[in-house]
Structure 1
Amino acid sequence: MRPISRITPALPVHAYQTYQVVAPPSTHWRPATCAEVDCAAYQQGWKSVVDETSDLGQRQAHYIRRESGRKFTETRNETGLTVFEFEAGQRCFALHQVRLDRPEVYLVRAGDWRSNPTGQVRRHVNAADWTEDFAEHQGRLATVIERG
């Protein structure tokens, strides 16, 4: 993974603000079934290939055979790995979620990526207010930088 390359800020951290639009998992999402999200594994079935020579593979195979409650056939491939083939129409192993019909949360935090020096976080009630705040802040930064 490449390190993040950032432009060196022209001003100290307290001069900046960080603007975010978020949809937190705890308030804006809920668990969903495979059928709700058109899961391909649910619709067509799937294969899981497990290397039972490793501890992890042994635990995975044990779970599939004894605890998963899913229907499957079991074979070995040419390299000796265990292939579990699951029938369509049953829950896959992924955890699916669907977005709830709730508006995003519009936040403004003091500071930038370096820190939040005051710990302040403001919450706007709508996108228009957040956008206006952002534009005004950008204008103030530009003015301070131009004055040097």
Structure 2
Amino acid sequence: MRPLTRITPALPVQAFQTYQVVAPPATHWRPATCAEADCPAYLHGWRSVIDERTDLGQKQAHYIRRESGRRFAEDRDPAGLTVFAFEAGQRCFAPHQVRTARPEVYLVRGGDWRGNPTGQVRRHANAEDWVEDFQEHQGRLAEQIEKG
């Protein structure tokens, strides 16, 4: 992941509020099957290209052939790599997650990306209250800018 470039704010962190809508992984996501996640590999099949000249490649190929329980065709490409072509409709090797039915969490925190020195965290009951809070905050900022 490329590093994030941020403009250094002109005001101290205490002068900011952060409005967030979050769906924490621990409470708002659950493990899912390939079919539930509309996994492209499950829907269309996939290919795994393995270099069996390496220790890792040998272990991967052994797992696929002997332990994976998946249906595949095996071939060699011109570079000597092993190509496993897996049929559609079977579980891939990646873990999947899907959202639960729990609604998002609507938060207002003191501070910004630099931290929350006040420790302030407000949780709104619903999106409407959060939006209203945000609009009121934007209104106060606009008034302050107008005043100079």
Which residue identity lines up with residue 18 of structure 2 in the other structure? T
Looking at structure 2, the residues matched to 46 and 71 of structure 1 have their Cα atoms a distance apart, in angstroms, of 11
> How far does the alpha carbon of each residue in 1:6-58 deviate from its partner, in whole angstroms, 9 at most, with x for none?
33423211010111101112211222222223333223322111122334323
Q: How does 1:22-41 map to 2 (within 5 A)?
A: 22-41=22-41
Structure 1 segments of 4+ aligned residues over 6 angstroms from their partners: none
Say whether the 8 Å CA contact 1:44–1:87 is kept in structure 2: yes
Which residue identity lines up with residue 100 of structure 1 in the other structure? T
Give the share of equivalent positions with the same residue, in percent.
78
CA gap 1:47/1:2 in 2 versus in 1, 3 angstroms? closer
Say whether the 8 Å CA contact 1:109–1:122 is kept in structure 2: yes
Looking at structure 2, the residues matched to 111 and 4 of structure 1 have their Cα atoms a distance apart, in angstroms, of 18
Looking at structure 1, the residues matched to 147 and 60 of structure 2 have their Cα atoms a distance apart, in angstroms, of 63
- Report the more deviating stretch, 89-98 or 122-131: 89-98
Structure 2 runs not aligned, ≥5 long: none
TM-score, normalised relative to structure 1: 0.84
Which residue identity lines up with residue 50 of structure 1 in the other structure? I
The equivalent of 2:93 in structure 1 is 93
- Say whether residues 1:21 and 2:18 are aligned partners: no
TM-score, normalised relative to structure 2: 0.84
